[in-house]
Chains A and B, each alone.
Chain A
Amino acid sequence: MTLEIFLQNAANGITLGSLYALLAIGYTMVYGILRLINFAHGEIFMISTYFAFYGTAIFALPWQVAFVVAIVLTALLGVVIERAAYRPLRDAPRISALISAIGVSFLMANLGLVIFGGRPKTFYRPPIFQVPIELGGVRVVALFFVIPLLTAILLVALNYIVYKTKTGLAMRAAQWDFDTTRLMGVDVDRAISITFAIGSALAAVGGIMWGLRFAEINPNMGLFPGLKCFIAAVFGGIGNISGAVLGGFILGFGEIMLVAFLPGLAGYRDAFAFVVLILILLVRPTGLLGDKQRVKV
């Protein structure tokens, strides 16, 4: 393999890793606070791409406005889903919440099929992202720089919110214990809603970037990235934001490199993440950066 091809693959890997990281953060934040696999996160991601698609295609909004509107709507969608499907089950057995999450996921995927139609749609790609850039013999489009850069900026912002603001403090406190947090005068419901809003907004950014990168969107696109990003979150240590980012990058990079170095295994590409999951759970269940799991009784 020549250096150019390797660098090309590395660029692909970093881009995919950034997208996985954006999605994995949503999983890890929700799991950290509710101890629930938000199965619907992948579908939130899928619907965000359709919000952006309809914004540009039907309402003919300028793409900047359409993307922002899509992110806001997706954040709202996340909050609504938590209200409707997870909050009533907060004191129920965890399995009920999990079934509810699976139900929401299916409902949204099939509603997507009904409303948006099963035929894949072409995502509008503003020309500014398609400017070719040549660097060290590798020709890539500007998007390959935009995605990691934007991811980095969002991570800095997220770290600021979680570790430097009162809202972030409330979210971190709720991860430990709802009742004690309430006694401290914190509105736990609000903290959870904000967690869902932030997670969904990041998923929307990921979704729009996904649309810009792969150009094609369909109602079933949420399931696999969703599962993989949950695995990325587990890989990095569930509940840990830096861990989710690290896991997302390793998974995205590993997936691209697996296909690049061992083309014979290309058919097993989608199995890669699941094998990683099973190995990590057997060898180091707390993930790379996770601390000792706390069992909430």
Chain B
Amino acid sequence: MAEQRAVHPLLKIAVVCGALILFFLVLSWGQEHWDAYTVRILNLCGIYIGITLGLNLCNGFTGQFSLGIAGFMAVGAYTTALLTMSPAVKQAVFFIQPLIYPLNSIQWGFLPALLMAAVVSGIVGFLVGAPAIRFRGDYLAITTLGFAEIIRIVFTNIVPITNGALGLKGIPPHTNLLWSWGFALVCIAVMVRLMRTTYGRALKAIRDDEVAAEAMGVNLFFHKNLAFVMSAMMAGVGGGLLGNLITTIDPNMFRFPLTFTVLMMAVLGGLGSITGTVISAAAVTIAMEAFRALEEPRVILGLAIPGVPGMRMVVFSVALMIVILFYPKGFMGDREFSLDRVKRLAAGLDRTNTSKQG
């Protein structure tokens, strides 16, 4: 590529801004005009893209295999819900034990509530990460899983704050396409930028060889915690968006199967690929809904097929097993989709074509 034209940086920025504006215009139009089912699924796509990127930052890019994502989602979801519900609704929901003082009389806007969710889940992430991050491999996995379960059990038991096992109902449905996809885009931008900084390279170095990275002067404790806390914050905000999308949450939503779902999205897309994660999170979310058909009774070609509850997760577990056994790197591995790659691919195709002709 000798005569590559230099693109003016301002032009680049203008194109990106234009694309973003167009994207959000389409979304805000769609929010009004697409049917509720489509909007719901698209919302879930955006939310899961962000959460899965967070998981991938910790598990894929830094190689710290954490299974605590559901716990951080719970923290974020409860924070956002408690801050956005109106005092009247809170009084009605907390009929067993009233909600404790400052929370019962305040109502925040959605954005400050989400930011607060990021802060709270970040703090919880640090409290979990600081002791847990020194463990390696399986031990980290089981410890973070333990922390997530502890968070869930604590939430089930502190009734004056979380309403216990009954959960919260009547959460205002603030989440729309702009919020969920805005969240997804922010997460994508953060990840792309982060991976180009020295921090990102340090994280990858830790993944490739912890001992060597430390020998090169990478501060393991700081960088691992950075990845862990950022991952927790993304999960927290995602959880908050999810809570305000489905308007009712309870502690049992945030069990291990939720972590498994997010982990599956990350593994199918490729641990360590941003593009792979985005594609796979969206695809799995859509497939999750589409495969609901498997669990409902229906008639195909005159044959009555009974619905089988649980079939959906069987299909996904099998998909995960196939990928991990035969394509351990997932859909994208640790590669990224970029225009340069497409150009190179095209150039490569060109060359093979000419060589065949010649």
Contacts and interface: CB of A to CB of B under 8 A. Distances in A.
Contact of A36 (B135, B138, B149): B138
A268 B157 contact: yes
A135 interface: no
A223 B317 contact: no
Given A110-B313, A110-B314, A223-B256, A281 B325 contact: no
B310 A118 contact: yes
Given A94-B138, A277-B142, A277-B146, A99 B310 contact: no
A114 B309 CA distance: 6
B320 interface: yes
Contacts of A285: 135, 139
Chain A's interface: helix, strand, loop or mixed, by majority? Answer: helix
A218 to B, nearest CB: 12
B318 A94 contact: no
Contact of B260 (A35, A106, A230): A106
B143 interface: yes
B131 interface: yes
A182 B132 CA distance: 36
B153 A270 contact: yes
B30 interface: no
A41 B150 CA distance: 22
A114 B149 contact: no
A267 to B, nearest CB: 4
Given A99-B263, A113-B309, A274-B147, A37 B141 contact: yes
Interface string B298-317: 00000000001111011001
B86 interface: no
B146 A106 contact: no
Interface stretch (A1-9, A85-93, A143-151): A85-93
Interface in A69-120: 85, 88-89, 92, 94-96, 98-100, 102-104, 106-107, 110-111, 113-114, 118
A271 B328 CA distance: 33
Contact of A227 (B137, B145, B267, B325): B145
26 contacts: A37-B138, A85-B321, A89-B324, A95-B63, A96-B324, A98-B138, A99-B263, A99-B320, A104-B321, A110-B310, A110-B311, A110-B313, A110-B317, A111-B310, A113-B310, A114-B311, A227-B146, A231-B142, A234-B142, A267-B153, A270-B149, A271-B150, A271-B153, A274-B146, A277-B143, A278-B146
Interface of A: 35-37, 85, 88-89, 92, 94-96, 98-100, 102-104, 106-107, 110-111, 113-114, 118, 219, 223, 227, 230-231, 234, 267-268, 270-271, 273-275, 277-278, 281-282, 285
Given A89-B328, A267-B153, A271-B149, 19 more contacts: A37-B138, A89-B324, A96-B324, A99-B324, A100-B325, A102-B263, A106-B260, A107-B317, A110-B313, A111-B314, A114-B308, A114-B310, A219-B310, A230-B142, A234-B139, A234-B142, A275-B150, A278-B143, A281-B139
